[in-house]
Amino acid sequence: MSDILRLDHVSYAYPGGRPVLRDVSLAVTAGRSIGLVGQSGSGKSTILKLLLGLMRPQTGDVLFDGARLDLSDRQMMRTYRKSVQAVFQDPYASLDPRQKVQAIVSEPLRALGIGGDRRAMVVAALRSVGLDGDILDRYPAAFSGGQRQRIAIARAIVAGPRVVLADEAVSALDLTTKVRVVDLFRDLARKTTLLFVSHDLGVVASLCDEIVILEGGRIVETGPTRAVLAAPAHAYTQQLLASVPRLPDFLAGASSP
Amino acid sequence: MSLLKVRDLSVAARGRNLVDSVSFTLDAGERLGIIGESGSGKSLTATAIIGLLPPGLSATGSVLLDGHEVIGAREGELTALRGAVAATVFQDPLTALDPLMRVGRQIGEVWERTERRAGRPHGKGDTRAAVFSLMDEVSLPEPERIAGAFPHEISGGQRQRVAIAMALACRPKLLIADEPTTALDVTTQKETLALLARLVADHGMTLLFISHDLPVVAGIVDRVVVMRTGVVVEEGPVRQVFATPTHAYTRELLVAAERFDRALGAA
Amino acid sequence: MTAVVASAPRRGASWTWRIGLALVGLHVVVGLLTLVWTPYDPGAMTGGRLSPPSLAHWAGTDRLGRDVLTEVMIGSRIALQVGIGAVSIGAAIGITIGIIAAFATRWRDDALAATLDILIAFPTLLIAMLVVAASEQASLGTAILALGIALSAVVARLTRILAKRVIQTDYVTAARVSGSSWLAIVREHVLPNIWPTLSVNLALQFGLAVIAEASLSYLGLGAPPPNASWGRLLQEAQGTVYSAPFGAIVPGLALVSLTIGVNLFADGLRDLADPLRRGRG
């Protein structure tokens, strides 16, 4: 078992603001998909920004394959970018409206100078997310939210990353679309390691091996998803679980074909 | 007598029907949910009911709200209907509130308008008392502080409670809630739903609850209408629709919702 | 899977930009024509002084007996040279500064923004006059450089605001996470996304530059004869405007038609500059 990414006693506060992360430690282990659950203000997006190398922690370290991540080390960052890719929440905002699908999906290949038949790599990435290879010359406006999110996932996997970080990546999708995209992430989690940030316990429960519960910038509970949900130890986890609206009992099994 | 009677309601934009021949009725005291995904026309249906369609959209058919026809009515008649008969709580309380006015004042204005229309004389002190009583009804803590705050100075859940208090100040017969908890955290959502359910029961209000979230809808209404691409695909009591869905789309929604529900284990 | 074809909103794009295009096109054709042919030799005394329009001199002659139409046609070429030159210089400097400011750290950006605001507070003409005054001799090149520098502050400020908006989008964050360099982000995301709005502004700046150069020439700070601009023609015709009004009216109309043309054309440019609005959405 090796930790690809680690947060080691990380704290963070925005200038002049109260701390958003307090002594957070967590590990992303190869092959174990991990769900980061918290409500607004829990610090989950800050953790993500740190893991994406978009900012530095004020105290503590972000470790990549055991080495301290240095944002100014070009060689290291290149390896890091190749290894760690991301999918964002809003598929309408995360695709450049003025780029064609080909340019969008091939961006990591261009940026990282990955050679070879880029077009074939883009088509392969699109196919693996259930999209046809003949959409290369179209703009994002031609696609629905679910299709856009598939394009965004294709971009994240085209360079063959070891970890995919997903930021509320299904929250903006309709329920029926959400199910399909969650299935896609589940397939993805078999090939790479997935860190899935979400406020939606149901989605994380159906997708992640491990769960991390955040509250007010602290990790309050962590463990295997099933175990934590079956017997939440922390009062906050219990409250969170009890707040999730549930389907009525009379439904049970009724809709199964 | 039914409080709301929608017959063959269509909403069109540039010759295309976004809502297509929607019909349903809502009896006084009933709680009806409209379930739908984006593009289903659920929110447009709600806006057409109160005659607030944005420019460029036109409604045809009939909407009888407390016996008054909404489609084709003059703005003056509609203004009287909105508030007195129907009040709406929207998804995003931040855009529904005036950012430059203290929230106590916003609740007070609605209350004063309602009193004026009813022809009841009132003084400054009456408004103040009414605002605090409304804030108490929606369980807003520290009424003094929150009444004096601007919308951005309070939490999302508190803002939605302010919006609910404003709706309540109209003493409406029909409360339309359009995705009222979608923007809220799950713990706040639970409290807000409980509040809405209590207020509807206490005041004998009729509820039209619009949402994409099946478990949320199931928990608060008696009857549901399922919409897809502007058309009603299924309608009936919650128990019936959820336990024995007849339309393939309803089944698809339920299968999807069940997936995430089951993953959480036993409730 | 069915693709949802989004209909791109078409706003502002009415037929009026075609009139603009026609007016600008007329000046371009005339300006190019003067390179090979003019009714008379520029600067040549061709007839009686201050003669009214006739078959020989469609727009009459000026106080030295030169053909007004010839001078005005050459003025078209000068005006286009000024517009294209000044806007090119202004865009090159302005876009560069604007992008640097947009990407700069907080205090550097603040300093640049404040500097630009101060520069913009000075009238374009005043800055241009100072630049011309600082140079040895008034020439067309100096005037173009001066106007380019003067309008670069406006371009820089607009670019900075537009670029900042683009930099904050999720797709730029996605580009950073993809490993794209700042330069790649500017080339692939920032420039294509600010260009539709920026190009409209540059077209308006073109019109302003033409007017500003006319003003400089009017003040005697522009290009010397024989390559006289409309501003100098106006100034020369000033003394005889009552006896021979055509000497002022024709260059005046030329100036107005080009600036109106450019402004009308700018409305349609937004659509032409944007791949999303061109043809299929």
In chain A, which residues have their Cβ closer than 8 Å to the Cβ of B263?
A: 202, 205-206
What does the buried/exposed string (b/e) look like for C190-223 if buried means 16 or more CB atoms within 10 Å of the residue's CB?
Answer: bbbbbbbbbbbbbbbbbbbbbbbbbbbbbeebbb
Structure tokens belonging to residue C39: 């009714």
Closest residue, chain C, to A89 (C-alpha): C170
* Length in residues, chain B: 267
* pLDDT given for residue C7 in this prediction: 35
Beta strands per DSSP E along B43-195: 57-65, 68-69, 86-89, 174-178
Closest residue, chain A, to B192 (C-alpha): A243
In chain A, which residues have their Cβ closer than 8 Å to the Cβ of B251?
A: 255, 257
Return the H-helix or E-strand segment holding B9. strand B2-13
Structure tokens belonging to residue C63: 């106080």
The amino acid at residue C96 is T
B264 versus C268: the higher-pLDDT residue is: B264
Q: Of A45-49, A162-166, C69-73, C219-223, where does mean pLDDT reach its minimum?
A: C219-223
* pLDDT given for residue B65 in this prediction: 94
> Do A255 and B254 make contact, defined as CB atoms within 8 angstroms?
yes
pTM higher than the cut 0.90 = no
Å from C202 to nearest chain A CA? 20
Q: With bands split at pLDDT 50, 70 and 90, how would you rate the model's confidence at C9?
A: very low
* pLDDT given for residue C42 in this prediction: 81
Look at strands B174-178 and B206-211 and give their pairing.
parallel
Whether residue C225 has pLDDT greater than 80: no
The gap from C-alpha B50 to its chain's centroid, in whole angstroms, comes to 11
Residue B256 sits at the chain A interface (C-beta within 8 Å): yes
Residue B187 sits at the chain A interface (C-beta within 8 Å): yes
Look at strands A193-198 and A34-37 and give their pairing.
parallel
Domain boundaries defined on chain C: 16-30+65-272
Distance CA B30, CA B208 (A): 8
In chain A, which residues have their Cβ closer than 8 Å to the Cβ of C182?
A: none
Q: Which one of 3.40.630.10, 3.40.50.880, 3.40.50.300, 3.40.309.10 gives the CATH number of domain B1-85+177-267? A: 3.40.50.300
Contacts of C225 (CB under 8 A, 6+ apart): C43, C232
In chain A, which residues have their Cβ closer than 8 Å to the Cβ of B187?
A: 39, 239-240, 243
**CATH of segment(s) C16-30+65-272:** 1.10.3720.10
What average pLDDT does range B52-72 have in this prediction? 92
Distance CA C277, CA C281 (A): 6
What average pLDDT does range B21-45 have in this prediction? 95
Look at strands B57-65 and B68-69 and give their pairing.
antiparallel
Q: Of A85-89, C117-121, C140-144, where does mean pLDDT reach its minimum?
A: C117-121
What does the buried/exposed string (b/e) look like for A73-106 if buried means 16 or more CB atoms within 10 Å of the residue's CB?
Answer: eeebbebbbbbbbbbbbbbbbbbbbbbbbbbbbb
Distance CA A49, CA A67 (A): 18
Residue B222 sits at the chain A interface (C-beta within 8 Å): no
Closest residue, chain A, to B259 (C-alpha): A206
| B179 HSE (CA, 13 A, CB side) | 17
Structure tokens belonging to residue B99: 């950012």
Closest residue, chain C, to A80 (C-alpha): C179
Q: What are the residue ranges of helices labelled H in A84-191? A: 101-105, 107-111, 118-128, 145-157, 175-191
Place of tokens 């964002």: A88
Distance CA A40, CA A23 (A): 18
Long-range contacts of A117-121 (CB under 8 A, 24+ apart): A121/A158
Per-10-residue mean pLDDT of chain A, 257 residues long, equals 89 86 95 94 92 93 94 93 95 94 97 93 96 93 94 96 96 92 94 95 95 96 96 96 90 51
Å from C22 to nearest chain A CA? 29
* pLDDT given for residue C8 in this prediction: 37
Residue C168: phi and psi, rounded to 5, are -80, -5
Pair A180, A164: CB distance under 8 Å: no
* pLDDT given for residue C13 in this prediction: 53
What average pLDDT does range B95-111 have in this prediction? 92
> Do B214 and A239 make contact, defined as CB atoms within 8 angstroms?
no
> Do B239 and A248 make contact, defined as CB atoms within 8 angstroms?
yes
The architecture CATH gives domain A3-92+162-243: 3-Layer(aba) Sandwich (3.40)
Q: Classify burial at B53, counting beta carbons within 10 Å of its beta carbon; exposed 0-12, middle 13-18, buried 19 or more.
A: middle
* pLDDT given for residue A213 in this prediction: 97
Look at strands B31-35 and B206-211 and give their pairing.
parallel
A-facing residues of B in 48-107 (CB < 8 A) are none
Q: What is the mean pLDDT of chain B?
A: 92
Whether residue C246 has pLDDT greater than 50: yes
Distance CA A236, CA A217 (A): 13
What average pLDDT does range B16-30 have in this prediction? 94
Domain boundaries defined on chain B: 1-85+177-267, 92-171
* pLDDT given for residue C278 in this prediction: 61
Percent of chain C surpassing pLDDT 90: 42
Domain boundaries defined on chain A: 3-92+162-243
Whether residue C164 has pLDDT greater than 60: yes
Q: With bands split at pLDDT 50, 70 and 90, how would you rate the model's confidence at C226?
A: low
Whether residue C223 has pLDDT greater than 80: no
* pLDDT given for residue C129 in this prediction: 82
* pLDDT given for residue A129 in this prediction: 95
Structure tokens belonging to residue B253: 């929604």
Place of tokens 């360099």: C181
In chain C, which residues have their Cβ closer than 8 Å to the Cβ of A86?
A: 174, 177
CB nearest A202 (choices: B190, B219, B263): B263
Place of tokens 């009379």: A250
Sign of the dihedral defined by the CA atoms of residues B236, B239, B244, B245, in that order: positive
* pLDDT given for residue A101 in this prediction: 97
